[in-house]
A and B are shown apart, each in its own frame.
Chain A
Amino acid sequence: MKSGFIFLLTFIVALMLEAMPIPEQFVWYRPEWALLVLLYWIIALPFKVGIGAAWVLGLLVDLLQGSVLGQHSLTYVLIAYVCAVLYKRLRMYLRWQQGVFVFLLVSVNQLVGFWIDHYLGVAEPTLMIFMPAVITGLLWPWCFVILRSVRRLYSIS
């Protein structure tokens, strides 16, 4: 019950950061907040937060960003699946190695999103699509430490 409340709270904060208006020129530098929080919970508690949560979260992000319905659900489910399978190995990684792995996963998210937008004819090919992945990877160690302290503070396991 308590753990469910904490999950909900962290996801709501992530969605708020996701919806925060930012200046036009920084639009490529916005990290994938929702994905960061999702990845942490899946690696930490793979039996409590899983693919179902990823799907619902993706749908909410779609509604929030006005993107094609299901676009983020699809990528979040794929990423959540990879993490849920590899969580034991991921826990053994060093923090920066995890960061690189997060970069790869978010790159997949960006690529699939780009394919869908390109299919709709609204996207211009640019390498900047990987910028959010770089930023998210760099943010991972801090996000990990913050969420771990949240988890320990409320002793969720």
Chain B
Amino acid sequence: MLLVALSVLIILLDVRTKVFAPVRPYLSWLVTPIQLLVTTPRKIVVWTGEHLESREDLVAQNQALNAEILVLQSQLQRLNSLKAENVRLRELLDASQRVDEKVVMAEVIGYDQNAYSHKILIDKGFSNGAYVGQAVLGATGVLGQVVETAAYSSRVLLIADASHFVPVQLARTGFRSILRGTGDLKRLELMSVPHTTDIKKGDILNTSGLDKRFPQGYPVGVVKSVTHVPGKPYADVVVVPLAQLARSRHVMLIDRQAESKE
């Protein structure tokens, strides 16, 4: 009876207040060994796979990567001149400078086992500088944000989770709105889009940066369909996330705390 009451008390405290927020990372120490036991075998398999690759494969891979570097470098040259031009124009306009964000790479070590929520587990924790609210990007788009940190691992809430919202901006027209997760990994919904808005299939949505959490200008999703239902105040806009939410293995953590301290 006592334990039932205690459990209910803990649930209510955890849901209603933030009492456990500072304690939870330390409690997580208790289960860190178990997580290590589970993730280590896979890491060993991946490591041996990487180290036992045949010479031909490595040479082929190397050539492909070199070719890719060449292409990327040529693009980078243009980017550099554009960047310089951007800075000059901003100086002319007296606008504030955009700082380059610090990036930390992390590896996905697990998906959340709870079927209602969409979270992933990554191998960087507060010891590696991760913090709650940190934006997480994949190679092709925004993945989500850190919601819980332990010493050497963190939980990332994906943008497809039903409790996740991202403020976004249409790349083509600059129309701003909020993108809501639905609980389905391949479906997001754009909120409060008036019927008269210029929006169509294939439009790219970028982060607007208005939340001060996600850096501005990263791609989030692409519009899949726009349907106007007569009688509804807003259009139904379905968006497909650009990042591979369920399949990413390497993710980037954007460190904006360093930036705000400067």
List the interface of chain A (C-beta within 8 A of B): 12, 15-16, 18-22, 24, 27-28, 30, 51-52, 55, 58, 60, 63-71, 73-74, 77-78, 114, 116-117, 119-124, 128-129
Contacts and interface: CB of A to CB of B under 8 A. Distances in A.
Contacts, number: 109
A122 B7 CA distance: 20
A12 B163 contact: no
Contact of A69 (B4, B20, B121): B20
Given A69-B11, A71-B11, A60 B111 contact: no
Contact of B162 (A65, A78, A122): A122
B115 A22 contact: no
Q: By DSSP majority rule, is chain A's interface helix, strand, loop, or mixed?
A: helix
A70 B8 contact: yes
A121 B182 CA distance: 12
Interface residues of B, number: 40
B113 A65 contact: yes
Contacts of B116: 114, 117, 122-124
A16 B37 contact: yes
15 contacts: A27-B115, A58-B7, A60-B31, A64-B34, A65-B114, A66-B155, A68-B15, A69-B13, A70-B8, A74-B4, A74-B7, A78-B4, A120-B163, A121-B162, A122-B162
A128 B10 CA distance: 27
Given A24-B111, A70-B8, A124-B162, 7 more contacts: A15-B34, A16-B38, A20-B38, A55-B6, A71-B11, A74-B7, A77-B4
Contacts of A122: 116-117, 161-163, 183
A78 B4 CA distance: 7
A58 to B, nearest CB: 7
A22 B111 contact: yes
B14 interface: yes
